[in-house]
Structures are given as C-alpha cells and as structure tokens.
Copies of this chain bind each other. A is one copy, B any other.
C-alpha cells in the first residue's frame, strides 16, 4: 500500500499498471494523437490511482519545448509589480505557458545573474522590466533565440518587443496640466533611486514640461526606503518649512503623495486651494483618501497582459515567421484630476 517515497513514479510504472505501452500512455496524458476511448480510460484510471505526476524535465528535454516564461522584475515591495504579474497570469491562464518570476532589487548585476539562471531553463520567452540593462544582459537577451518583451517603459530601444508607457511623456503631461491650472511655484518629491530609470525619466519629462512653460522647479526632496506614507508626511513637512510659498507638490508615486496629503490636512492646509497635489501610478488605495489625489495611471495590469499576449502569439508562430501583431506597444496613460489638481473656482 505504501510506496517508497524516494522514487517518483514514471511513465513505465503507469504503463505496467495498465498494460499499455509507454508511448500510448504518454499520448493519453498529453491528449495527443488518437487513442481509443477504452485504452484512454484504462490509462487515465491507472495514472490517477497511482497518483502519477509526469516529469516535465524529461518531457521538455525530449520535446525541446518548455512551457516556462521568465518574468524579471525589480521588486515586489510595492504594488506595482505584483499588479503587472496579475496581468501576466491572467493572460497565461488560458495557455500552457507558466510564468517564473525573478526579482532583481533594481541591481543590474543581479538582473544579469537572474536572467542567466532563468535562461538555463530554456524558457519560451522573457518578460523583463525596463530598457536599461548591462551589456552582458543585452547580449543574453539577443542571443537567447526566444521572444523578449521589455516592459513598463518605452523611452528607449528594445532588444525585441516592448510594452509600456513613456515615463518622460507622463512627467511632461503632468507638468502641462499643472501649469494649465495656474500653479507656478512647484516642488518635486521622489525616490532617491539612481537605478529607477522610470522615476528618473518622469522627473526629466516633468522639468522639461515646466521649462517649456518658463517655469523652474522651486524645491525638491528625495527619500530612500522606509514607509512611503510616512516619508510623504516627513518630506512634505520638510519642504514646506523650507519653501512655504510653494503652491503645488508633484510626488513621484501615489503613496508618498497620500502621506503628503494626510499631513497637509492635519495642518489644516486647504488642498487644492492653497496647495495642489499630484502623484503617479493610479493605485487602488487612492479611492479611500479624504481627497482623491490627482494621478496618472501606469497601466500596470494592461502591460502585464499585453506582454504575455505577445509571448503567447509568438510561441504559436512557426519559428521565425514575422509576427503579425504589434511588437512595440506604447500605452497612453490619462491624468486623473481627482480633487487636488484643480484650482478652486
């Protein structure tokens, strides 16, 4: 009754248990080729009663096909990438493809290493965050011979496919919206992450947009680690003590924006009459704040879905046919004005 735990069952065990050749058992288990209903039945019951689980390692080696897709992201610590993953999962759910996630902590060398390890499983595709990689990483991506989708950001040149938004444009658009509402004395608050290229590009686009209107950022503050909500409070306080005349604060993400808003309201500051606010990301959280924070959606879920779809489409293609669907997708996020970006009548 008890089977030794140390030897997993093989096709052969099932084959012997039901008196059908290994090959036919394999066919039944994969729904390949025609098998008579009778043998099919026999095989299925045998496999189930034995508790057989096929060995994909052997299967993939033999078939030279792997249903794994490498998904490489910088972090799991905010909701951004988990949401992307949810989109990826959603698309892959209807396919045999399976995402395998690697986390880089925003470190280029770790990204290189993670990619190397994932490629050693010969995945069917790679979804990787960002366009900035080490030379070695780029070389691996180019030589892997599988579809590669770089996600989140479209300000740059992809190795292959690309799905994301232009963070530079996002920053610029926000600058334009703020200027249009008549704000002129503007502060910027963001992360101190030299390796977060997307945050950097948003900042660049933002200053660009202001410059175009003849405005310069009046004060700026950067943070590192810790609770974003608490940091938002602290930084806002620090900045307003230093520059009390500001009439708008642009936060590089919604969480610090929310923290700033809570602090301002504690202080009895009139938002947005006295000071306007905007964040970035469009996180679900915002719906519960005392005022709806202005923001811009980063299209996280859609990016995950679209990237996964590109892999799905490409892996169905006959090796090196030209893909028919677009391989470079730039989504255009819209500004949500909320209640913190309109000058009061």
Residue numbers of A with Cβ under 8 A of B are 3, 5-8, 51, 53-58, 60-61, 66, 76-77, 79, 82-83, 85-86, 89, 98, 100-101, 103, 116-117, 119-122, 139-140, 143-145, 226-233, 255, 258-259, 262, 266, 284-290, 319-320
Q: A82-B76, A82-B82, A145-B6 are in contact. Are A290 and B319 (CB under 8 A)?
A: no
A227-B54 Cα distance, complex, nearest whole Å: 41
- Contact among B58, B119, B121, B288 with A229 in the assembled complex (CB-CB below 8 Å): B288
27 pairs, CB–CB < 8 Å, chain A vs chain B: A3-B143, A5-B143, A5-B145, A6-B145, A6-B320, A7-B145, A8-B122, A51-B139, A51-B143, A53-B116, A53-B119, A55-B122, A57-B57, A76-B83, A76-B85, A77-B82, A79-B79, A100-B101, A101-B101, A227-B284, A227-B288, A229-B284, A229-B285, A229-B287, A230-B287, A231-B288, A259-B288
- Residues A289 and B85 in contact, CB atoms below 8 Å apart: no
- Residues A120 and B232 in contact, CB atoms below 8 Å apart: no
CB-defined contacts of A119 to chain B, threshold 8 Å: 53
Q: How many copies make up the complex?
A: 2
Q: A57-B57, A58-B61, A145-B6 are in contact. Are A100 and B103 (CB under 8 A)?
A: no
A220-B232 Cα distance, complex, nearest whole Å: 33
- Residues B6 and A319 in contact, CB atoms below 8 Å apart: yes
